[in-house]
Amino acid sequence: CHFPDLIYMILFGVVQVFLCQIPNFHKLWGLSILAAAMSFSYATVGFGLGMAKVIENGKIKGNLGGISASASLTQTQKVWRMLQGLADIAFAFPYTSLVLEIQDTLKSTPPENVTMKKANLLSLSVTTTFYMLCAFLGYAAFGENAPGNLLTGFGFYEPYWLIDFANACIVVHLVAAYQVFCQPIFACVEGWFSHIWPDNKFINKGVPIRIPLCGSCRVNLLRLCWRTAFVVSTTGIAILFPLFNDVLGILGALNFWPLVVYFPVEMYIAQNK
């Protein structure tokens, strides 16, 4: 039984509409832990299957020069793919947009900057190790035919259940990661509205709503409308632009310079004036 990708995208958006009503970043610790666990799970499956494939092949495919230029792949196209690969790598480390939000959740003893330095070192070391294992073993397993999504290369190999499990982990990871990366955007926009219109009830007041079997809760109308519109718009864009790797490359290129290079340097200069 096969369903078109459109159905899965819409279902993903529907789930996010509900999850986006989580008030703020501080309430996401459970989703954050879940996303990290799922990431470790599918990455481990990915490089494990890659290693098994290399052993099955009896040789290491690919070479240090990458895909060779030919009639079907010009030198210009090869350079473009290299640049796209660099952009994908930049997208793989997007946590810079969350550093301040994460640091804001830490206790002041020990100092936040000390804790963040240790956390950055540990997280970057572990993340880079997993990424490099997946990249090296995936290329060694498939060579020039390595797919953009490593797990799709094992789609017709046993054990099927393990691949299905890894794909399920990716889905859960994306559901949680969407919230982790969107909450700072929500907080920024809603904070700006509250600053401009501090006495507006639509923006600053909660409306009590009774939910069957769950009791009552207070829902902020601005949060409900704005976040729902945001999810609908991003889901629509995803449906219109289904080119996964190309879109990741563009996002990585757009995010890397301001978040990793420009703003940290400007903040350091401003702090030391």
pLDDT in tens, 82-139: 777 777 777 776 666 666 667 666 777 777 777 878 887 888 888 888 888 888 888 8
Q: Is the pLDDT of residue 156 over 60?
A: no
SS3 89: helix
Which of 66, 56, 50, 67 lies closest to 137 in space, CA to CA? 50
pLDDT-wise least confident of 63-67, 118-122, 178-182:
63-67
- Helices marked H in the chain — which ranges? 5-19, 29-57, 75-91, 99-104, 112-142, 160-196, 201-204, 221-240, 244-256, 263-271
Q: Name the pLDDT band for 57 (thresholds 50, 70, 90).
A: confident
The 10s digit of each residue's pLDDT in 219-253 is: 788 888 888 999 998 888 877 776 666 666 666 66
Between 185 and 246, residue with greater pLDDT: 185
Q: Which two tokens stand for residue 64?
A: 């240090």
pLDDT beyond 70 at 259: no
Residue 11: pLDDT over 80: yes
E strand or H helix at 259: none
- Mean pLDDT, range 145-150, rounded to an integer: 75
**d(C-alpha 54, C-alpha 61), whole Å:** 8
Strands 206-211 and 215-220, bridge-based pairing = antiparallel
Q: For residues 150 and 148, give the distance between their C-alpha atoms in angstroms, rounded to a whole number.
A: 6
Q: Count of residues for the chain?
A: 273
Task: Extract the tokens encoding 29.
Answer: 């610790």
Average pLDDT over residues 146-169: 75
Six token digits for residue 161 = 């259940």
Give residue limits of the domains in the chain.
5-271
Q: Return the number of other C-beta atoms located less than 10 Å from residue 90's C-beta.
A: 20
For the chain, what is the mean pLDDT? 77
Q: Which two tokens stand for residue 189?
A: 């926009």
> Can you tell me whether residue 115 is helix, strand or coil?
helix
Average pLDDT over residues 24-33: 75
pTM for this predicted structure: 0.73
pLDDT above 60 for 35: yes
Residue 54: DSSP 8-state? H
Please check the confidence at residue 213 and state whether its pLDDT lies above 70: no
